Amino acid sequence: MNATPQTGPATDDTGARPIQKWYFAANLNGLRHAFDQIEVAVKSAKSKTTLRPYCLIDDHEDLSEVASRLNWLEKSGVSLIRHRAEFFDIVRQHFGPKVDVFSGHWLRSDIPILETEEEVVLYTDIDIMFRRDIDFSRARPPFLACSPEHRQDDFSYFNSGVMIMNIPALRDSRAMLMQVVKDRLDSMPPYDDQATFNVAYRDTWTRLPNLWNWKPYWGFNADAAIVHFHGPKPGMVRRMFGGEVDIYPPEYGEIFHRNPEGYAKYMAEFDEFLGTEVS
């Protein structure tokens, strides 16, 4: 796929107010098994930024076993929005209930119909860590702004783990995105909403600074604003440092070995946030 992202900055000069809201999403599986990532994302956002956090929660499953974690989020200042992703219903009808573990992946696609106050918002996956505040005041992409996937200079495919989202434009193009989902059902895995976004916006996405979606395997960069544990997650990285690389699929070991030093330094920051209280 040959993406041709706009090369100019995702900005305007209209004096629009800065981005206020940060969205992330979780389902029962994420709340069960990846809450350390959610904790660090929230704690680092509260410590390092002025963003207002909103969490989309897939509510089609019984969440009673994670009630204490939902309570922690609310006490930490996170607004919870219980919702079932419209696009996931299409995916589930095709693949069956066995794919429920992936329901959280599709929640972000509904942000444009859930957000009614802001024209532009920040979305991130849960496996991120804020390291400094970001001046979003001029960030106004025509549709969405993202960074590359694996290589810093490869703009043929974007990573949707951090996105600046133009809400009205994405809302207006929603029918097109839905058609892309339907057209890809026979060829895509049930978790791959990222590829769907890439197909739909391959000619209109805008480049986000790499420092806003920095990967540990790119090495340590003191100026990175948002670190994204793309590939091996923090719990996996700990075990890899303990010599258990081979227990994971080979692609995770390959990513880890690109820059263990970068992982070590960012993991130290991750663990520091994990051990603190919400500021």
pLDDT per residue as tens digits for the range 167-211: 999 999 999 999 999 999 999 999 999 999 999 999 999 999 999
pLDDT at 5: 45
Please determine, for residue 15, whether its predicted confidence score (pLDDT) is greater than 60: no
User: Pick from 110, 49, 42: which is nearest to 73 by CA?
Assistant: 42
pLDDT at 138: 76
Least confident of 6-10, 184-188, 204-208, 213-217: 6-10
pLDDT at 7: 39
pLDDT at 126: 98
Confidence of residue 11 (pLDDT cuts 50, 70, 90): very low
Distance from the Cα of residue 240 to its chain's centroid: 23
Mean per-residue pLDDT over the chain, rounded: 92
- Look up the pTM and report it: 0.92
- Residues of the chain above pLDDT 90, percent: 85
User: Pick from 127, 101, 100: which is nearest to 42 by CA?
Assistant: 127
pLDDT at 136: 81
Structure-block tokens of residue 208: 């986000």
pLDDT at 25: 97
Please determine, for residue 85, whether its predicted confidence score (pLDDT) is greater than 70: yes
pLDDT at 137: 76
Q: What is the dihedral of CA 73, 120, 117, 168, to 10 degrees?
A: -130
Please determine, for residue 24, whether its predicted confidence score (pLDDT) is greater than 80: yes
Overall average pLDDT of the 208-223 stretch: 97
Q: Which residues make up the CATH 3.90.550.10 domain(s) of the chain? A: 21-212
Q: What is the pLDDT of residues 88-140, one digit of tens each?
A: 999 999 999 989 989 988 999 999 999 999 999 999 999 999 999 998 877 88
- Residues of the chain above pLDDT 70, percent: 94
User: How many of the other CB atoms lie within 10 Å of CB of 97?
Assistant: 8
pLDDT at 8: 40
User: How many of the other CB atoms lie within 10 Å of CB of 160?
Assistant: 24
Kindly tell me the burial class for residue 240, based on how many C-beta atoms sit within 10 Å of its own C-beta (0-12, 13-18, 19 or more). Answer: buried
- Protein fold of 21-212: Spore Coat Polysaccharide Biosynthesis Protein SpsA; Chain A (3.90.550)
Confidence of residue 17 (pLDDT cuts 50, 70, 90): low
Overall average pLDDT of the 137-147 stretch: 90
Distance CA 141, CA 5 (A): 11
